[in-house]
Chains A and B, each alone.
Chain A
Amino acid sequence: MYKILEKKVLAPSIFMMKILAPRVAKAAMPGQFIILRVDEKGERIPLTVCDTDANEGSVTIVVQTIGCSTRQMEGYEAGDFFYDFVGPLGVESELISEDKDELKKLKIMFISGGVGAAPVYPQVKWLHENGIKADVIMGFKNKEMVILEEEMKSVSNNVYVATDDGSYGFKGMVTNQLQALVDEGNHYDLVVAIGPMIMMKFVCKLTEQLGIKTVVSMNPIMVDGTGMCGACRITVDGETKFACVDGPEFDGHKVNFDEALNRSTMYKAEEAVKNTETYCAAGGIK
């Protein structure tokens, strides 16, 4: 059982939780994820690590309620327990193993969409701690949904917030913001994009035109997260890869996004049924 140490609502339907999991806290690196199971009857869901505190033994995750399990999680408070919490899973961000002096020469742009700001944060923070400053574009639906802006500002060079409706920051999509920055004469050597698959697809389309190398963090359906089932398989450069063990980060220009988007809808009908069942609609049973 894994204790919830802290819970904070960041935006409507987005909340942050600090979970006591000392082994994970000690081992996790930026880019990795965990798998969580709420209770005995729960499913295993993957969530990215947003922050860790090895001394406290805690791991921070940020969750958006989109379905049955996340809605159930929303009903949990500090002091409650989750059944299972396993990780860190996946390969750490490529940046970590690269030469730091070489990295300092690069102009790196991170792009996050919605709750994707959470997995972007530990990477930018890690770079910051190693003396490397990156820029960040954070895209949100509207002002109300903006999260982690202050945290991100404290570890990065420039933060550009974009909202779809223009209620805060730049008006438009993250791709419009990136294009605008490039039009102003800014140059970037590397883009790291994390967010909804559709956003990552369009970022990749743009950066391909702009000729900027782009890394994406794929978020397909997962079950075990350890490489034993292949539920998370995606096609990269014509080859089948398991996102849980080969990724989740891949060269965005080589990912078959249409296939990945299609595979992510596999259980739409079943999920809709689960969502309407009373124990889920009730918002969580502890």
Chain B
Amino acid sequence: MDRMKRTPIKEQEPKVRAANFEEVCLGYTVEEAVAEASRCLNCKNKPCTSKCPVSIDIPEFISHIKESNFEEAAKALDKYTALPAVCGRVCPQELQCESKCVLGIKGEAVAIGKLERFVADWARENDVDLTKEIEKKGKTVAVIGSGPAGITCAGELAKMGYDVTIFEALHEAGGVLQYGIPEFRLPKDTVVKHEINNLKKLGVKIETNVVVGKTVKIDELMNDEKFDAVFIGSGAGLPKFMGIPGENLNGVFSANEFLTRNNLMKAFKSEYKTPIRPGQCVAVVGGGNVAMDAVRTALRLGAEAHIVYRRSEAELPARVEEVHHAKEEGVIFDLLVNPIEILGDEKGWVKGMKCVRMELGEPDESGRRRPQAVKGSEFIIDCDTVIMSLGTSPNPLIPATTEGLETNKYKCIVAEEETGLTSKERVYAGGDAVTGAATVILAMEAGKKAAKAIDEQLSK
């Protein structure tokens, strides 16, 4: 075996998977996982761990896999993370843990994410019970939002003995794990449901269908329902539109709407009642992970699917693995292209999108080369559906209905970086609600830090 090369992992054939919603990556077998784990050099200074936002002791859990002791590996992960089956699948490991793997200097980094996923899946399939006896503290914490930040914060607090209730606006817990990330990257009935059940096993109560700010306000939770502290993990779910003509034609959707219909409401299954219409030819505007999820969903629903992105391939913010998967499946990339108008037919339906070609100019403050329109390069992309995937911002509902909760000019809640404490006493916040749209693992890190700070505050 070549130590510099990764143990290959099985995936569904591109042609087959482009027509179904089953998971693309099939995961390691026991033998493959042990082989891959054996590549780890067990570095003393653990550079991989230093780049993991929740500081998982990576060499430790991998060493248990090497010895085929998967239960110990699961326990080693559980010390640091509440969502290993999720993070093993959706973290951008190439920018985090795997980016610092020593093997990556001369060869391929250890497949840390795939190993994490293997352990979590093995533990689920073999009913490993990670619950321990917890001594109750007799104090209550309300967690707003059941996405990665809220789940992590709630899980950590429950393990410390707090009585935790999560309030979720939608009818299913999980946040973006439910409505945003599609089945083919993150299966719902197995992986997500299991992680939520683990939370319930810890004693966390989940109240769905509660829109905090409308159904109940934070001050009411603290004053009337006597919660000792509140953690806000309400995310950044407000979609952006371009503001170009034609954006309200029939057939134009936000990626959030398109993905919510498909993932949360399961519109791709005919026995579910929520309709979805991808049309014949779909143009997804944007280049992030959400754009990749939307375009691959449209493809699976039978459309010819395009990514329309104003910069070049090198600047695509999506994970390399997802771009690669999308290409294999037949997604067409229209790069250095920017829409300027959506064109409609006489009945008010999308019939095309007027675009301009772009070129990259000098780097801007963020270091990315600024795209500029090429004069006279207008052309039309024929399409009947347009999906806008331009990013999201935090919903202003909670700050607007909570007195004394400070926000910044991006409508993000202002919170201390190390503790998540907001401008309001005993109210903490973390994840996308504070940072704007970021990643699952960063939200988890924030949830974890806030849990620690809440414990310190309430233990005083």
By a beta-carbon cutoff of 8 Å, the part of chain A in contact with chain B is 23-24, 27, 37, 41-44, 68-69, 83-89, 223-224, 226-231, 233-235, 240, 245, 259, 262-263, 265-267, 269-271, 274, 279-280
Contacts and interface: CB of A to CB of B under 8 A. Distances in A.
B272 to A, nearest CB: 5
Given A83-B171, A85-B209, A68 B273 contact: yes
Nearest to B240: A230
A226 B171 contact: no
Given A83-B171, A84-B171, A226-B169, A41 B395 contact: no
B218 to A, nearest CB: 13
B369 interface: no
The 4 closest A-B pairs by CB, nearest first: A270-B275, A229-B257, A228-B237, A86-B209
B128 interface: no
26 contacts: A27-B215, A41-B272, A43-B265, A43-B275, A44-B171, A44-B265, A68-B273, A69-B273, A84-B209, A85-B209, A86-B171, A86-B209, A88-B214, A89-B214, A224-B170, A226-B211, A227-B238, A227-B395, A230-B253, A234-B248, A240-B243, A262-B347, A269-B277, A270-B277, A271-B275, A280-B273
A228 B171 contact: no
Nearest to A2: B209
Contacts of B237: 226-228
Contacts of A231: 253-254, 257
B397 A227 contact: yes
A223 B257 contact: yes
A68 B274 CA distance: 10
Given A43-B272, A227-B237, 16 more contacts: A41-B266, A42-B273, A44-B171, A88-B214, A88-B215, A226-B397, A228-B237, A228-B260, A230-B239, A230-B254, A230-B257, A231-B253, A233-B248, A245-B397, A263-B250, A274-B273
Contacts of B215: 23-24, 27, 86-88
B116 interface: no
Interface residues of B, number: 39
A89 B170 CA distance: 12
Nearest to A90: B214
Contacts of B41: none
Nearest to A269: B277
A85 B251 CA distance: 28
A241 to B, nearest CB: 10
A228 B238 contact: yes
Interface of B: 169-171, 208-211, 214-216, 237-239, 241, 243, 247-248, 250-251, 253-254, 256-257, 260-261, 265-266, 271-277, 347-348, 392, 395, 397
B274 A44 contact: yes
Given A24-B215, A87-B214, A88-B215, A229 B169 contact: no
A271 B347 CA distance: 18
A242 B390 CA distance: 17
A89 B254 contact: no
A229 B272 contact: no
Contacts of A269: 277
Contacts of A41: 266, 271-273
Contacts, number: 111
Nearest to B207: A23
A133 B273 CA distance: 42
- Interface of B (DSSP majority class): loop
Contacts of A270: 275-277
B343 to A, nearest CB: 15
Contact of B274 (A43, A85, A245): A43
A52 to B, nearest CB: 13
- Interface of A (DSSP majority class): mixed
Contacts of A233: 248
Nearest to B236: A228
Contacts of A230: 239, 241, 253-254, 256-257
Contacts of A88: 214-215
A274 to B, nearest CB: 6
Contacts of A24: 215
Contacts of B395: 226-228
Nearest to B344: A262
A245 B347 CA distance: 28
Contact of B250 (A86, A228, A266, A271): A266
A226 B274 CA distance: 17
Max chain A Cβ within 10 angstroms of own Cβ: one of B214, B216, B250, B271: B214
Max chain A Cβ within 10 angstroms of own Cβ: one of B211, B216, B395: B211
A63 to B, nearest CB: 15
B348 A262 contact: yes
A154 to B, nearest CB: 29
A85 B247 CA distance: 31
B216 A240 contact: no
Contacts of B211: 86-87, 89, 226
Nearest to A265: B250
Max chain B Cβ within 10 angstroms of own Cβ: one of A44, A226, A228, A267: A228
B237 to A, nearest CB: 4
Nearest to B271: A41
Contacts of B239: 228-230
B171 A37 contact: yes
B274 A228 contact: no
A93 B169 CA distance: 22
A235 B275 contact: no
Nearest to B388: A230
Nearest to A68: B273
A267 B253 CA distance: 13
A218 B414 CA distance: 34
A43 to B, nearest CB: 4
